Amino acid sequence: MNSSFRRSLCLVAASSAIAATALMVPAHADSTGSSFEAPGFAPGPINGQGGWAVSGPYDDAVVSNAGNPAAPASFGAQSLRMSNAVTSGSFGDQLFSPSLVNEAGEPTAENAGLSGGVRQSMFVSQFTFASATGGLQPGLATGISPDRGDGARMSLVKLVDEPTTEFPTGAGLHIVVYDADATAAKTHQPCLQCVDFVAHDLGAFNPAVPHTVTSELRFNPGPSNDVVRVFVDGVLKGTFASWEDYYRYDTESGTSGNSRTVDSLLFRESGPAVTANAGQGFLFDNVSYSSGPQTPYVVTTLKENPQLLGLNPLFLNLNISESATLRAGGVGVAGKTVVFSFGSKTICSGVTNGAGFVQCGGIFPLTQLNLFISNAITASFAGDSTYLPSSDVAGLISLG
């Protein structure tokens, strides 16, 4: 892990007062959101508008979308714009969203008097972002984290226009999730710098269109068991760990053995400043988050039918037909995308009907016949905020 990244964590952990809050009876979900529209917001500095706060000299502001062809129509008249033209290793002077009334965290998590209300066991946040220029801005990076208002982050999603000093070899817009790897602390004993922060690249995304990122944190009592699920544009991209074990075991954090609460979002600019991005960067809109009791996952089953493969000698191609049924509790699940593939090659995809059935097909060169004969086809449902992912495999049923 990058040493400056670790040092920045240590600074805020060591400066935070310790105050544990007991678990209380779950209450109704508490939520808030910002679309940055008038009359609550006006073009200009974001500090003090709609409960948002920033005291450092960062390149962030509420901007009018009029005259900016890169601003998506769905963002309305105004958005939050920010870039990494100005950065620092600090936390308290960076951009924080308004606090919820009811915090979220584990029963023994510390709030340092910065959050409160009725403690909840789940925190869900969502934001939509787009390039302020409609394209890539090399070196642009912004981090968004669930927080309690002082930088004691419990997760991190980073938006990166590669290449950057942190990601020098790639290219394009990437969404990266950092979680805390506690494998070195598996003995559950205090240790120094034994918890690492691991970057999980969710892939490259089109910078010319807006993307919506949803992060769901489930706080569970005890070590190494919080669950972070991250979705991009409604598709589950991965399941990760929270940062609970960093605070629980790594003495670098100045920990007393407890994780932290969250009630807001931290939008942070750190790392090398890229002055060329001044006045540009990312546009953010429809920022929302909530705390509440955990909602149960819905388990799905996907049953794939054997593939139908037909030869068309006249055109020297193959006709592939795929089908599957997605169910939950024995009932078909409608409106979900199922992808059929083998290896990294996608054959086709389709959306389930009212009975959970989906069918699609594709035409491929006859030269790929051996690939389809020798490789099983996988049908996959990626899951979403309600339904867990599932998959199934099937082989060839007919050749004619």
User: What element of type H or E holds 199?
Assistant: strand 196-205
Using CA of residue 202, residue 293, residue 188, residue 266, what is the dihedral sign?
Answer: positive
- φ, ψ of residue 167 to 5 degrees: the values are -125, 80
pLDDT of res. 7: 42
Residue 297: which of 176, 389, 222 has the closest Cα? 389
Rounded Cα–Cα distance for residues 141 and 83 (Å): 7
Task: Write down all domains in the chain, each with its CATH number in brackets.
Answer: 3-292 (2.60.120.560), 301-399 (2.60.40)
Amino acid sitting at position 151: G
Distance CA 21, CA 154 (A): 17
Distance CA 106, CA 98 (A): 21
Q: Are 150 and 92 in contact (CB under 8 A)?
A: yes
What pLDDT score was predicted for residue 196?
A: 84
What's the pTM?
0.83
List the pLDDT tens digit at each of the 400 positions of the chain: 454 455 455 444 444 433 333 333 233 479 999 999 999 999 999 999 999 999 999 999 999 999 999 999 999 999 999 999 999 999 999 999 999 999 999 999 999 999 999 999 999 999 999 999 999 999 999 999 999 999 999 999 999 998 877 777 778 999 999 998 866 545 567 778 878 889 999 999 999 899 999 999 999 999 889 999 999 998 899 999 999 999 988 888 876 789 999 999 999 999 999 999 999 999 999 999 999 999 899 999 999 988 766 666 555 677 778 899 999 999 999 999 999 988 778 888 999 999 999 999 878 777 676 666 667 789 999 998 889 999 999 876 554 4
What distance in Å separates the CA atoms of residue 22 and residue 103, rounded to the nearest whole number? 12
Residue 323's Cβ-count burial label (10 Å; 0-12, 13-18, 19+) is: buried
In terms of Cβ atoms closer than 10 Å to its own Cβ (0-12, 13-18, 19+), residue 172 is middle
CA 270 remoteness from chain centre: 19
Residue 159 identity (one-letter amino acid): L
Host H or E run for residue 64:
strand 60-64
- Nearest one of 144, 117, 110, 107 to 128, comparing CA atoms: 144
Return the pLDDT at 293: 95
**Distance separating alpha carbons of residues 307 and 321, to the nearest angstrom:** 6
